[in-house]
Amino acid sequence: TSVLQRTLAARVPCPKDSWLYRILPSVSHKPFESIDQGHVTHNWDEVGPDPNQLRWKPFEIPKASQKKVDFVSGLHTLCGAGDIKSNNGLAVHIFLCNSSMENRCFYNSDGDFLIVPQKGKLLIYTEFGKMLLQPNEICVIQRGMRFSVDVFEETRGYILEVYGVHFELPDLGPIGANGLANPRDFLIPVAWYEDRQVPGGYTVINKYQGKLFASKQDVSPFNVVAWHGNYTPYKYNLENFMVINAVAFDHADPSIFTVLTAKSTRPGVAIADFVIFPPRWGVADKTFRPPYYHRNCMSEFMGLIKGNYEAKQDGFLPGGGSLHSIMTPHGPDADCFEKASKAKLAPERIADGTMAFMFESSLSLAVTKWGLKTCRCLDENYYKCWEPLKSHFTPNSRNPTEPK
Ligand SMILES: O=C(O)Cc1cc(O)ccc1O
Ligand SMILES: [Fe+2]
């Protein structure tokens, strides 16, 4: 199916470009025409702002028996911020599909896609070769790269789109030479081509300034016989992440779990980080081990690939999501708080068999009309998971300022 090679490209801080040797240049095609947008939008003012904690039940995948939906017609924009025309911002999309793209490919003029499949494999044909992607793997398809997706069942996943910047490995700072996502584990395709004529029948779909356009051509665009360069799609298996964490006391910021970052021009501030919560040991002493309660300067969209998330055993399900916006308070549900407050602090496996992730952004995200209404997956009762929290403050028992 797909043949891949290892790459060090993600680490090389040089200009990115690639040369493609193809049977016919991409320029031979009919004019692009505007097509139905479906649920793709980059309009961040569709509905008014909402600072509440939001949680979505698993996004529903259309049944193949009812309506054939492919990867592109199944794109749904959930939230985002910023501006495509000035190359600054991001969008979170959910893909919900049940059919392969037939004589159709897609390319994005606006930015890069980081694709996180949650249910079902994706066989992705790109101009650079083929990539088979399964849940717990991610791939990045950068601006302008044409690709077509085959699916094998009802399929769901998440996409983080960033405009005008590329994903890179985070600076390791004091971590030093190795750790987190190691460059050797990123795989890129090996050239693959088809010399296939489809007279007037191949459709190239383009997302340009947030709108969808289509153009017809006579040949498959996957006609690249050979290529060289460092501007390529790539994939990464999240199992290879080398987890670094607190081994004495205290809870580290989850930025220590950053797989890839899309930096802004402000040092230390990301347009978006892709962060994961992989299986690991919890060993911290004198520490409440689950996430702390917090309000912070980032927008945190979370998704779940499999299993459950340590801070929410119930209600946050694979294929669903949550959004905690800038300075909106959040943290473990009441149940998690009670259990972790009483837990014996022995070494303990955390998150075995599970994988949660976060798209974290310094921008203030707006939720789309689809996200708040049309998808009908919003969990209206989310806030209730914190209602049972009660005070454990008992000042008289151990107040050192009081005379004995
Ligand atoms: O809010 C969340 O669940 C994500 C998160 C996890 C954690 O361990 C610490 C901070 C944080 O934002
Ligand atoms: Fe958080």
What one-character-per-residue DSSP string does 271-322 give?
EEEEEEE-SEEE--BSS--SPPPB--SSEEEEEEEES-BTTBSSS--TT-EE
- CB of 311 closer than 6 angstroms to any ligand 1 atom: yes
- Mean pLDDT over 43-60 rounds to 97
> What residues have CB less than 8 Å from 218, skipping those under 6 apart?
28, 197, 198, 199, 200, 201, 202
Tell me what pLDDT residue 402 has: 65
Final residue before a domain boundary, out of 188, 223, 238: 238
Tell me what pLDDT residue 200 has: 84
Tell me what pLDDT residue 397 has: 64
Shared domain for 65 and 206, answered yes or no, is yes
Instruction: Give how many domains the chain has, as a whole number.
Output: 2
The tens digit of pLDDT for each residue in 124-137 reads: 999 999 999 999 99
Final residue before a domain boundary, out of 194, 214, 238: 238
Tell me what pLDDT residue 404 has: 62
Tell me what pLDDT residue 8 has: 55
- 88 band by pLDDT with thresholds 50, 70 and 90: very high
Rounded CA separation 260/278 (Å): 14
Give this prediction's pTM: 0.96
Closest ligand 1 atom to 275 CA: 4
Domain contains 402: no
> Any idea which ligand is nearest the CA of 325?
2
Tell me what pLDDT residue 394 has: 84
- CB of 254 closer than 6 angstroms to any ligand 1 atom: yes
Shared domain for 227 and 130, answered yes or no, is yes
Domain contains 16: no
Our CA angle for 242, 243, 244, nearest 5°, is: 120
- 280 band by pLDDT with thresholds 50, 70 and 90: very high
Which CATH number does the domain housing residue 294 bear? 2.60.120.10
324 annotated active-site: no
- CB of 112 closer than 6 angstroms to any ligand 1 atom: no
- 4 band by pLDDT with thresholds 50, 70 and 90: confident
Instruction: Say if residue 300 carries a ligand binding annotation.
Output: yes
Ligand 2 center to 215 CA (angstroms): 43
In one-letter notation, the amino acid at residue 194 is E
- CB of 287 closer than 6 angstroms to any ligand 1 atom: no
CA nearest to 146, candidates 61, 77, 72, 75: 72
Number of H helices, E strands in the chain: 2, 26
- CB of 291 closer than 6 angstroms to any ligand 1 atom: yes
Shared domain for 160 and 44, answered yes or no, is yes
Residues 29, 35, 39, 43: what is their CA dihedral angle, to the nearest 10 degrees?
Answer: 90
Ligand 1 center to 87 CA (angstroms): 28
Average per-residue pLDDT for the chain: 95
Shared domain for 187 and 277, answered yes or no, is no
pLDDT at 399 over 80: no
- For 386, the 3-state DSSP assignment is helix
Please give the residue range of the domain that contains residue 293. 243-379
Closest ligand 1 atom to 290 CA: 8
pLDDT at 364 over 60: yes
pLDDT at 334 over 80: yes
How would you class 173 by CB atoms within 10 Å of its CB: exposed for 0-12, middle for 13-18, buried for 19 or more?
Answer: exposed
The tokens for 345 are: 């602090």
- Mean pLDDT over 63-73 rounds to 97
Shared domain for 101 and 233, answered yes or no, is yes
Final residue before a domain boundary, out of 238, 256, 278: 238
- 279 band by pLDDT with thresholds 50, 70 and 90: very high
- CB of 332 closer than 6 angstroms to any ligand 1 atom: no
Tell me what pLDDT residue 395 has: 83
- 123 band by pLDDT with thresholds 50, 70 and 90: very high
**CA–CA distances in Å: residue 271 to residues 122, 236, 284, 337, 381:** 27, 21, 31, 31, 30
Among 39, 228, 251, 324, the active-site one is: 251
The tens digit of pLDDT for each residue in 203-230 reads: 999 999 999 999 999 999 999 999 999 9
- 30 band by pLDDT with thresholds 50, 70 and 90: very high
Shared domain for 228 and 263, answered yes or no, is no
Tell me what pLDDT residue 15 has: 83
Instruction: Say if residue 294 carries a ligand binding annotation.
Output: yes
Ligand 2 center to 52 CA (angstroms): 13
- CB of 330 closer than 6 angstroms to any ligand 1 atom: yes
Tell me what pLDDT residue 6 has: 77
Give the HSE-up count for residue 311: Cα atoms under 13 Å, Cβ half-sphere. Answer: 19
**CA–CA distances in Å: residue 230 to residues 165, 212, 234, 348, 391:** 15, 28, 10, 41, 56
Of all residues in the chain, the percent with pLDDT exceeding 70 is: 96
Instruction: Say if residue 330 carries a ligand binding annotation.
Output: yes
Rounded CA separation 311/301 (Å): 15
Shared domain for 160 and 301, answered yes or no, is no
The tens digit of pLDDT for each residue in 365-395 reads: 999 999 999 999 999 999 999 999 999 888 8
**What ipTM was assigned to the predicted interfaces of this complex?**
0.98
Shared domain for 182 and 277, answered yes or no, is no
Shared domain for 232 and 247, answered yes or no, is no
Shared domain for 58 and 156, answered yes or no, is yes
Domain contains 400: no
Domain contains 263: yes
Nearest CA to ligand 1 atom 1: 331
Domain contains 403: no
The tokens for 94 are: 């959910």
Domain contains 49: yes
Shared domain for 79 and 175, answered yes or no, is yes
Ligand 2 center to 324 CA (angstroms): 7
Domain contains 397: no
Q: What 8-state DSSP symbol labels residue 257?
A: G
Is 68 within 8 Å of 390 (Cβ atoms)? no
Domain contains 388: no
Shared domain for 301 and 350, answered yes or no, is yes
Ligand 1 center to 43 CA (angstroms): 28
